[in-house]
Amino acid sequence: MKFPENLANKLELRKQNKALRKLAASNDLIDFSSNDYIGFSKNKSIFEETHQYLIENNCTQNGATGSRLISGNHKVYQETETYIANFHQSESSLIFNSGYDANVGFFSSVPQKGDLILYDELCHASIRDGIQLSNAKSYKFKHNDFEDLEKRLRQAQSDNFITEVYIVTETVFSMDGDCPNMEELIAVSEKYGCYLVVDEAHALGVFGSTGEGLVQMLGLQDKVFARIMTFGKGLGCHGAAILGSQELRDYLVNFARSFIYSTGLSPHSVATILVAYQHLQLEKQTIAKLRENIVHFNQEKNILGLKPMFVRSKSAIQSAIIPGNQNVKSIASQLQEKSFDVKAILSPTVPEGQERLRFCLHSYNSAAEISGVLRLLSTFVF
């Protein structure tokens, strides 16, 4: 069948740049690539307790699908959303099918014409896609640079046509693994009367004694207008939730198109979210082990002289900058040949010259595995 020539040219350009994306098959290598930070996706107890919950609550009798506004609002939703809100010390929560759906739904519907969105330049594609669908004006500010943010805010103050200002950031950035200074950001937000929106996709299950995320670990949850919690990372399951006031929840139910016009998650998926959250309360040792591994990784890279290569990070994401798509792919392949599943992140996913190896750490990685992969890396780059 004929394929559009302009699309074929785009694919060919990706091939020439050694940047063509392909779906990777599962493997038995030592995991330094998945976002399953505390191993919940393979947690047998979560699997079994989810099944038991469905039986005890007769959820298996109602398998109707559809939008939650029509036939898909299974009774397990209410219990799960209440549990999530209480866990995160939030007035309400609203479950979406994915983090992408949550961000697109929020940013396409909440900021209005006449409003302004100021977002960190390294915000995730889902945030940027949602912003593109918004009628509000939007500008990016330099990564974690609040002087640049204030410059934008002062400019906004002189514009009499701007109604509300939304500041958008992430607590853990997915490609760099670094975190903003949340106390400083909140001070700026309050100084200018802004609404702060924070994506905590890579902080859930990682920060805090029960994996509650960075904002809540710092006791700042009442200072944030909306938090987006994504479950496909630390919780090892599908879905996401937006945390905020009851008014925000009501607004999203009425105006977030990715919520209104999507088939709701199945009872099994929602029950898995509930049981995974319950396990956060029980898995303090697992979360503590992840933190130990993060500390060990940072100590080892310092000992081996690798620190200058890495973006500064205290999260489960550690990125070594190795410019050039072919160069970083070659080193990743050598690590994989030695049984370590470390992925290369190529341009244009990251800017040209910022290509990297992205190490994702887990509670189930051993100290020996961490030391081993870093020692190998040092032999390949020095």
pLDDT digit string (tens) for 41-60?
999 999 999 999 999 988 86
pLDDT digit string (tens) for 128-181?
999 999 999 999 999 999 999 999 999 888 877 789 999 999 999 999 999 999
**Angle subtended at Cα 277 by Cα 72 and Cα 283, rounded to the nearest 5 degrees:** 155
Is 315 found in the same domain as 278?
no
What is the Cα–Cα distance from 380 to 329, expressed in whole angstroms? 12
Is 260 found in the same domain as 160?
yes
* Cis check: omega of the bond before 348, within 30 degrees of 0: yes
The reported pLDDT for the residue numbered 25 is 78
Per the domain annotation, does 104 fall within a domain?
yes
Number of folded domains that form the chain: 2
User: Residue 136's CB: how many other CB atoms inside 10 A?
Assistant: 20
Task: Please say if the pLDDT value at position 376 is more than 90.
Answer: yes
Is 166 found in the same domain as 144?
yes
Is 97 found in the same domain as 107?
yes
CA 95 to chain CA centroid, nearest Å: 15
**Secondary structure (H, E, C), 241-291:** EEEECHHHHHHHHHHCHHHHCCECCCHHHHHHHHHHHHHHHHCHHHHHHHH
pLDDT digit string (tens) for 68-102?
999 889 889 999 999 999 999 999 999 999 999 99
Per the domain annotation, does 173 fall within a domain?
yes
Is 175 found in the same domain as 301?
no
- Left if phi > 0, otherwise alpha if psi is -120 to 50, otherwise beta: which for 371? alpha
Is 160 found in the same domain as 62?
yes
Is 55 found in the same domain as 88?
yes
Task: Please say if the pLDDT value at position 62 is more than 70.
Answer: no
The reported pLDDT for the residue numbered 201 is 98
Residue 211 pLDDT class (50, 70, 90 cuts): very high
Question: What mean pLDDT, rounded, does the chain reach?
Answer: 95
Is 300 found in the same domain as 277?
no
Dihedrals phi, psi of 319, to nearest 5 degrees? -120, 125
What is the Cα–Cα distance from 76 to 58, expressed in whole angstroms? 10
Structure tokens at 83: 């549990």
Is 276 found in the same domain as 231?
yes
Is 241 found in the same domain as 179?
yes
- Residue 339's domain comprises 284-381
Percentage of residues in the chain having pLDDT higher than 70:
99
pLDDT digit string (tens) for 277-331?
999 999 999 999 999 999 999 999 999 999 999 999 999 999 999 999 999 999 9
Is 377 found in the same domain as 271?
no
Q: How far is CA 336 from CA 31, 157, 324, 328, in A?
A: 10, 52, 18, 12
| Range from 152-161, 183-192, 227-236, 257-266 carrying the lowest mean pLDDT | 152-161
Q: Which domain-ending residue is among 227, 251, 282?
A: 282
Residue 321 maps to which CATH number? 3.90.1150.10
